[in-house]
Structure 1
Amino acid sequence: MTDILEEVGNFMSSPVLRIDSEASVQDAAILMEQNHVGSLIVEQYGEDIGILTERDFTQKVLSKGKNPEEIKATEIMSFPVKSMDRYMPIEEANRYMQKNKIRHLGITDDDKIVGILSIKDLVAYYSKDFRVREDF
């Protein structure tokens, strides 16, 4: 059994911010900036259908010279959202993200996305872990 303190749900960002599939990339960027987050879940009719990240903006919009006001979130989102149950060990989430080359992982409870684990969260976890080992 996993130590409860090392469950991925203890390190995720929550609540999850969502944006409607019809929203523009510009609207998504504004929402992300206002909330200081690097990703949004894209929803359609109340269902989570994808994830939109800062990296999507740079690689699929800005670097291509596209107008973010004219592009819908669904046009550049990644789907399906890669996810993991909140009770899994954080080390497994780290391996999964590395293997799949992703920077944001949906965290689920009863198959509903309830949080996001980002690379930033992993860095914070492993930095803390490293400091603890240094003290020995």
Structure 2
Amino acid sequence: MPIDDLARSDVVTASPETPVTDLAVTMAEENVGSVVITNGDTPVGIVTDRDLTVRTLADGADPTAQTASDVMSSDLCTAERDAGFYAATSSMAEHGVRRLPVCENETLVGIITSDDLMELLADEQQ
């Protein structure tokens, strides 16, 4: 099964210049745990709720002085939209990530999360 069948197309995105405080508000408003950071339609990083905690609060940094580029994970792991379920889960496990942006020719088209995969597995068990 291609992950494109499982991925959500309504990805929450922001630019690298977005203030960290705006990212936190967006996550709360959209009820998501991450924001994919893009340059145009190309993903260049991701900021998770954990990144905000560890790279801002735990470091004692001033969140009003930081932007997405200051706290994002830039070694972004992505998958092509025609990748299979096994390839996606293997990649997530290998890289220790819970969110996998889905691309087509380097353009962001969706995202799949470990929660999405768990839901699929639960449905399959029933």
Q: Could you tell me the TM-score, scaled by structure 1's length?
A: 0.84
Match in the other structure for 2:108: 113
Q: Answer with 1 or 2: which has the greater Rg.
A: 1
**Partners of 1:19 and 1:43 in 2: CA distance:** 6
Instruction: Between 75-84 and 59-68, report the one with greater CA deviation.
Output: 59-68
**Partners of 1:112 and 1:123 in 2: CA distance:** 26
1:17 matches 2:21:
no
**Partners of 1:116 and 1:62 in 2: CA distance:** 26
Match in the other structure for 1:92: 87
The 3 A distance-change label for structure 1 pair 46 and 91 is closer
* Aligned-residue offset at 1:45: 5.4
Q: Could you tell me the TM-score, scaled by structure 2's length?
A: 0.90
1:81 matches 2:111:
no
Aligned length: 126
**Partners of 1:16 and 1:35 in 2: CA distance:** 10
Find the residue that maps to 2:110 and give its secondary structure: strand
Q: 2:121 aligns with which of 119, 126, 133?
A: 126
**Unmatched runs of 5 consecutive residues or more in structure 2:** none
Find the residue that maps to 1:80 and give its secondary structure: coil
Match in the other structure for 1:134: none
**Partners of 1:12 and 1:108 in 2: CA distance:** 10
Matched residue type, 2:56: V
Find the residue that maps to 1:87 and give its secondary structure: coil
Match in the other structure for 1:35: 30
Q: Percent identity?
A: 25
Q: CA RMSD in A?
A: 1.6
**Partners of 2:103 and 2:40 in 1: CA distance:** 19
The within-5 A match list for 1:41-80 is 41-44=36-39, 47-80=42-75
**Partners of 1:43 and 1:78 in 2: CA distance:** 12
**Partners of 2:49 and 2:12 in 1: CA distance:** 14
**Unmatched runs of 5 consecutive residues or more in structure 1:** 1-5, 132-136
